Every structure is written in structure tokens, then in C-alpha cells.
Structure 1
Amino acid sequence: MTRTTLDGIDPFLNRIDAILAEIAFSIQLPPSLHGKAVDRYEAVRKHLEATTSIFHDEIEHFYPQGSMAIDATISTRGTDDEYDLDIIAQLGARFRSMQPIEILTELEKGLIGYRGLTVVRQTRCVTIYYADMMHLDITPSLRDEGTPERQSVIMHAKGPEASDDDQDVPMNAYGFCQWYAERTPLELKVLEAFKRRWEDAEQRAVKADADVDEVPVQTEFIVKSNTTLALQLLKRYRNVRYANRPGRMPPSVMLSYFAGLAAKPGSSLTDALLRIANWIIGEIDQATIRNKTLHVENPVYADDVFTDRWPKTVEQQNQFGRDLRELVRGIEKALTGEMLPTALQDWLREIFGDRVVTKAVDNMVTETRRAASEGSQSYTKRGSILVPAAPAVVTSAYASPVNASPHTYFGDRLNEWTLQDY
């Protein structure tokens, strides 16, 4: 499929967009880890085919699904350094006569002992836990013959023994990713802005390592639109909200569906985030009015129900609706200037997490110092780029102030928004 392109809006040129974009940058799967993930799942496939006789010539496709497939991977619910990556293993004819628990067990057996890593069978997948806190969730599937490409069933079985609750679950993750890509064209200014951010970060990492002399080869960058950035922020907000709540949280694939449905290519980052959040609020309200739980289907395969395990009750969806209303109110207040910088930073910490916001501010201060020292750019209240007349150095709680001259990055003056505030 050829993906259409448009210019889009650089999210770093608007004051509030820039703050949110930096937070998104702080939670994204780095391009280098994306490359590592691809290498790892390809190595897993080779291992299964080469060392396990039952899988020899029986893996028809081995491909990413979910966030990795649509470039929306972020750090997990538990920490800021873990990444869950989802892989589909489409299996061949040998597995068609097997029960769901048997297929999951065979996949588990084929991976136990793989490079000394921890391997755990889950209800629908088998997870490999790497030492660097990356997780690969490998979900076995069986292709529905005579149907659109990669329409399949996946296995659902709690185990350890077979039960009446075991079942084949309809799925077309591949088709959904094609649908999402069609609705979210590549936005060149977003791609280029984040490519520069990652390149700068990698350059700084190289300079900080005295043992490294050469700049590593750049990995192709993957974030492609403000819609996807907004989806990453929404997922992060959900993760923080549900970190201490029991039970399941709203599924990522459901959020991705609403992001694709609400997508308006060429929107700003804040407009995209508000549009998605308000769209979900509207859907929740409509379901609640009917005293029904949300029912969200894969747009390319109606039997693939994204809400089959959440929400279980109307109150569960209403709780998420209240969360989203709080998010919308906060963004609207930030956009209209109703929140002072100190109040804004407190709110950002609450909704996106203390560590992530601090990391984002550190990154922004570093970038501002670099730009000031190079005389390259500063930002007006409206987000326009200016060439500074004189360098401005950011004051910080961790460094002595050198020159508190005016600089307009986050507010009227940069020293109104400093690490000391955080």
C-alpha cells in the first residue's frame, strides 16, 4: 500500500503543542530499540523453525500487530523503561486440528530456554522477557481460508488444562493496521521534527560516551502524524490513570480505532488529542444513555470485537469518560492561558507522570540552551521562530543562574518555566 503524504504541522512550534510533543518524545520507543525489536522477533521465528520440529515450515507469517505496527508504541503501564511489543505467529495446517490450549502450550515449549530468557504462557499469547525490560508477546493465529489477507482466529485459553471457556477469537490485526494507515497520512513536518529530535538525542548520547568515536547508523524514524502522537499521549494518560486501579484498562486497540476514526490529517497536536478524546466521550455517552457497554468492532472485520474484555459494566466506561473529560478541561485551560506555569506543571505531572514530565522538561531546557548558544532560534508566545539577539541561559534548581535574560519558549519568559518549578 502506498501511503499518502501531506505537510502537516510541526508540533514543536506551538507552546502547548511543544510541551505535549516533548512528553510524547519521552515515552516513545526509541528508533534504536525499534530496530532491536525487529531483529528479535525475526530471531525468534528462526529459532522456532530451526530447533522445534513442530514449527518447521509451519510459520506462514510472523508480523507485528497493535502499537508496533502503527508506530504508536510507548513505555508500559508499570514503568517508564519497559516496552510491550506484539507479534502474530500465523501457523500452518499442522495446528488446525489442535485445541487452543495445545497450540499455546506448544508455542511455550518451543520458546522455553530461548537464550536463557524468561518465557511465560498467557491467556492469548506467550511472552518473552528480555534483560533490558523489553517484552515480546507472541500470539499464535490460524488463517481463515478463503478470506481477506490474514483474517484469522487467535487462541484463548487460561490453562493449565483445557476448559469449556477455551475458544478461537476472530482477529484481523493486519487489516486494521492498513485501515489506520489509510486514515492517518504521513505528515512530513511531524516526521522531520521528530527525526531531528531523535538524531540530536543520539548525538548527545554518543558525545557523553568517551569510548564511542563514531556516530551510529541512524535507524529509520517511525512516528508519522500528529494523530499518532496524540494517540501515544492518550495511552500514556490511560496508563497513569489505571496504574493503581484493579482490573483491565481500556484496550489500546480500541483507542487506536477511535484515533483513526477521529483523524483529521493536518491538525495540530492539541487539536488531534482533543478531537480523539471528545469522540470517545461521545461514544461512551451514547452507550450509557442506552444502558449498554461500548461495542467496538474492527472496521475491516466485524467479528473482531475490540471491546470483548473491557468494559464489563457501564460504570467502567463512565469512569474512563470522566478521566477523558478531565483531560479535555486541562488542555483547554492550558490553551487559553488559564493555568499559570506552576499550575500547568503540576497538572502535567498528575496526568502524565512525574518522571516523564521531568524528563521532558530536561530535554526542552537542553534544547533551548543549545539553540541559545548557537544563536539558532527561540520561540514567541504564538510559537513563531525568532533568532535571539543575545544568548539566554536557563536558570535551574540544579545549576547556578548565569544570565536570566528573557527568552520566550514556554511562556512570556523562559525563566517562568524552569526546572526549579518542577
Structure 2
Amino acid sequence: MNALAPLAANLLTEDRGKLLFGFLDRIGQELDPTVTQHGDVQGKYEAVGGWVADAADPVFKTARIYPQGSFAIGTAIRPLHGQEFDVDLVCHFPRARFPLAPAMLKRTLGARLRENAIYAARLQEMLRCWRICYADKFHLDFTPSIRNPGCPHGGELVPDRKLVSWKASNPLGFKALFEKRSLLQPRFRTRLAKAADGMLTKRAEVAPFPALRTSKPILPRTVQLLKRHRDIHFESRDVSAAPISVILTTLVARSYEHCVTHRVFDTEFDLLVAIVEGMPAFIEQRDEMGRRIWWIENETTSEENFAEKWNTDTTRATAFFEWHGKLRADLAQLARIAGLDILQKSLSASFGEAPVTKVMKTATETVGTARSNGSLHVAPLIGLTSAAVGASPVRANTFFGSD
């Protein structure tokens, strides 16, 4: 018998939430880039950044080169089916001044990259950036920017898609705000009570799985999980209509801040559900010249609308709300599932078979081994663990049944 199956059958509502989030967090860990992948990206970034920074052209002397997007804020996930990582970089020219033509600055950056035979061979010109391709691994998208004198938050201006004007942006401000929100601590109700004699109550002993000491805060982990759910959902649909990552990141971050500052939760899973439920509240509809438009604000600069494409392609808004409804339904289904086999199938359908299978296999082996050697314990506020420090032994066969 699967070592986790009897355990799952004895879950109280609170324990179920801890178990579910424990699995989800470990799935998120499997979505993280590997150490090798991260090191490869970092090495290539540092090399190309150094090459650009060493340019003889005076315009590069004060340039600032930095990563933006998912790698910068810790929400990158492994692409599906061997697709490439998308790594976004900025080359900021603080001394360049508006109304400098964006096409000219982009050409300047491209010319420097072409001076290196390695980058010249890998270079592709995109609409407003330069792409350096490392086949079947990842690509670096290098976007030029200048200072935005109209932004009170230190924002920047980047080329528009036609290279005829500048658009407001603020990658550094976005990163800082996201990290500030990540540090906000959710409040949870007391999970374990003590009996009069000071021993843990029986309710404490049924805690089913190590409550994860998450390797990253709940906010970036939630973004990762939702990005993978989106990728799975749109595999068999029009992928061009899928909500872009900056929209998911913004809505999750704003909903997370609202949830943790206004509510108290039983478990991390309950918090996750509340975050998802609250996301649409931060999508606006504004009047613009007699027309209703979708608006998802970049709070760190002025007049940047992450949902601008929703207003020229109505299928994007429809696709977002359809996906969001599916996500809500999938989370509700997870909360109702009793059987571990069904749980695994449901998680696989939502987040991919490979990471879920690996997580379930590891969890089963860990619990089975700990139980067989008598080292499975219940620790206050942690749950089942093979670490004996400050923990009470689990009585043999009380909650797990026989193998």
C-alpha cells in the first residue's frame, strides 16, 4: 500500500489544507530552473553584460545592464516540452535624453553586439529588442531604455513595437515592489493546541506531512504555480491568447497584499485560494474617449497598462477569465478530493505529470522509510517529519495502517 494513502484518508480539514499546500510547494520546487540551468543563464548574462559595458562608444560608459522579469523576481519556471527559457535584460542609458529616437538607440546596442562574433552568430532582431539565442536552452532579450523624466518613481522609457516612440516602464521599481510584498507575512490561526498536561493533543498527531519550510516565500511560489497552470491550460488552445506573465504576477501580488493585510487564514492553501479569488478585483475598466477599455495598472510608473493588448484583441480578456474560472474550479476540486490516486491525477492535469509524479514518489518514499525505521515524528507546527528534535514519536500503525 502507498505509505501516504492511509494518512490521506484520516485528514481533518485543516490537515488537508496543509497537505495540499505542501504538495503544491514541492511541485513549485520542481518547476524552478535547476542549479545548472540557472548557472548557465547567469554565466551568459555576465559575459554579454561585460561585453556591452566595455564598449568604446561613450554612450555605453554610464550604461546600466540588469535582468528584469521572472528571473529577476524569482518566478521563472522550466518551459514545457523542451522550449526555451525567456530571459529579459535591460541596457539602460541614463545620459540619453528624450526625444532621442528609439530606433537609433536600438541600432547602437545592436551594433555593439555584432562586434562580437559569438553574439553576431546568435543575434536576432526583434521588434523592440535584440535576441541572443542559445539553441534549445534559452534566449536573452536585450532591450534599450532611457530615463523617464515624467515618472516620479525613477521609471524608464523603452521603445514601442514600431520604434517610433517611447513607452513608460519601470523594471527596477516593479521588482522592488514585488519583493516588498513578498516579505509581508500572512497570519494563520493557531493550529495546535496543548492538553492540560502539556502533551500534544490527538489532533496534533494527525498532522500528515511536513509543513513545508518553503524555499521561497508564498508570493513568488504562487506566481510560479499559476504560470504553470496557465501553460497547461493553453496547451490545447490558442497560446497567443494566454495571459502574459506580467499580468499574472501583478494580479497575484496585489491580491496577496490585500489578503495578508485584511484576513487571517487556517492554512497556506486557504490563502492560495483567496489570492486566486481576489485577482479580478484589480482589473479595471476605464472610459477612454467614449470607449470602455481594460486596464491593469503598472503601479510603479505612469500610464503603463499591462492589459493594452486586451483592447485590440478581445479574445485575450475572454481567455483570461475562462482560464481563471478553470483555475478556481481546479483548486476547489483539490480541496474535495479524498483519495491519493485521484489527487495525483488532478494535480497532474493542472500542473503537469512529470513534476507531480516526482513529488509524490519522493513523499511516499520519505514517509515509508521514516515509518519503517521508527523515526517518523510529529513536531509542533511542522507536522510529520523524520527529524526527532523537539518532536513526539508517532505510534506505530495508529494512522497509517499496515503496508
Q: Please indicate, yes or no, whether the TM-score normalized by the shorter chain is above 0.5.
A: yes
Pairwise CA distance, 1:231: 1.3
Could you say what secondary structure the match of 1:306 adopts? coil
Could you say what secondary structure the match of 1:304 adopts? coil
Pairwise CA distance, 1:13: 8.8
In structure 1, which of residues 75, 80, 88 is the aligned counterpart of residue 78 of structure 2?
75
Unpaired stretches in structure 2, ≥5 consecutive residues: 1-14, 187-209, 386-392
Equivalences for residues 294-313 of structure 1 within 5 A: 294-310=294-310, 312-313=312-313
Structure 1 residues 106 and 373, CA gap change in structure 2 (3 angstroms): farther
Given that 2:16 and 2:335 are in contact with CA atoms closer than 8 Å, whether structure 1 keeps it comes out as no
Structure 1 residues 370 and 153, CA gap change in structure 2 (3 angstroms): farther
Given that 2:243 and 2:319 are in contact with CA atoms closer than 8 Å, whether structure 1 keeps it comes out as no
Which is higher, the Rg of structure 1 or of structure 2?
2
Structure 1 residues 407 and 281, CA gap change in structure 2 (3 angstroms): farther
Unpaired stretches in structure 1, ≥5 consecutive residues: 1-10, 196-222, 391-405, 416-422
Matched, 1:47 2:51: yes
Structure 1 residues 318 and 14, CA gap change in structure 2 (3 angstroms): same
More relative contact order, 1 or 2 (CA 8 Å, 6+ apart): 2
Equivalences for residues 10-409 of structure 1 within 5 A: 14-30=18-34, 33-51=37-55, 53=57, 56-59=60-63, 61-76=64-79, 78-79=80-81, 82-93=84-95, 98-112=100-114, 113=116, 115=118, 118-130=122-134, 133-145=137-149, 147-148=151-152, 150-157=154-161, 166-185=164-183, 193-195=213-215, 223=216, 225-244=217-236, 245-263=238-256, 264-265=259-260, 268-282=267-281, 292-310=292-310, 312-337=312-337, 340-368=339-367, 371-372=370-371, 375-377=374-376, 384-385=383-384, 387-388=393-394
Letter in 2 for 1:67: S
Structure 1 residues 63 and 285, CA gap change in structure 2 (3 angstroms): closer
Whole-Å separation in 2 of the counterparts to 1:407 and 1:29? 39
Pairwise CA distance, 1:69: 2.5
Whole-Å separation in 2 of the counterparts to 1:12 and 1:119? 50
1:201 equivalent in structure 2: none
Pairwise CA distance, 1:131: 5.2
Could you say what secondary structure the match of 2:309 adopts? coil
Structure 1 residues 275 and 110, CA gap change in structure 2 (3 angstroms): farther
Pairwise CA distance, 1:152: 0.9
Paired positions, count: 347
Pairwise CA distance, 1:16: 0.7
Moved more, 21-30 or 112-121: 112-121
Could you say what secondary structure the match of 2:326 adopts? helix
Given that 1:104 and 1:121 are in contact with CA atoms closer than 8 Å, whether structure 2 keeps it comes out as no
Whole-Å separation in 2 of the counterparts to 1:51 and 1:372? 62
1:399 equivalent in structure 2: none
1:6 equivalent in structure 2: none
TM normalised by structure 1 equals: 0.69
Whole-Å separation in 1 of the counterparts to 2:40 and 2:374? 36
Structure 1 residues 327 and 388, CA gap change in structure 2 (3 angstroms): same
Structure 1 residues 71 and 274, CA gap change in structure 2 (3 angstroms): same
> What do the CA deviations read for 1:245-296 (whole angstroms, capped 9, x no partner)?
1424212112111122111348643233322321224556978xx9945301
Structure 1 residues 109 and 334, CA gap change in structure 2 (3 angstroms): same
Structure 1 residues 186 and 282, CA gap change in structure 2 (3 angstroms): closer
Letter in 1 for 2:244: P
Whole-Å separation in 2 of the counterparts to 1:286 and 1:130? 40
Letter in 2 for 1:50: D
Whole-Å separation in 2 of the counterparts to 1:313 and 1:173? 25
Letter in 2 for 1:193: R
Aligned-residue identity in percent: 22
C-alpha RMSD of matched pairs (Å) = 3.9
Pairwise CA distance, 1:304: 1.8
Whole-Å separation in 1 of the counterparts to 2:184 and 2:136? 31
Given that 1:227 and 1:269 are in contact with CA atoms closer than 8 Å, whether structure 2 keeps it comes out as no
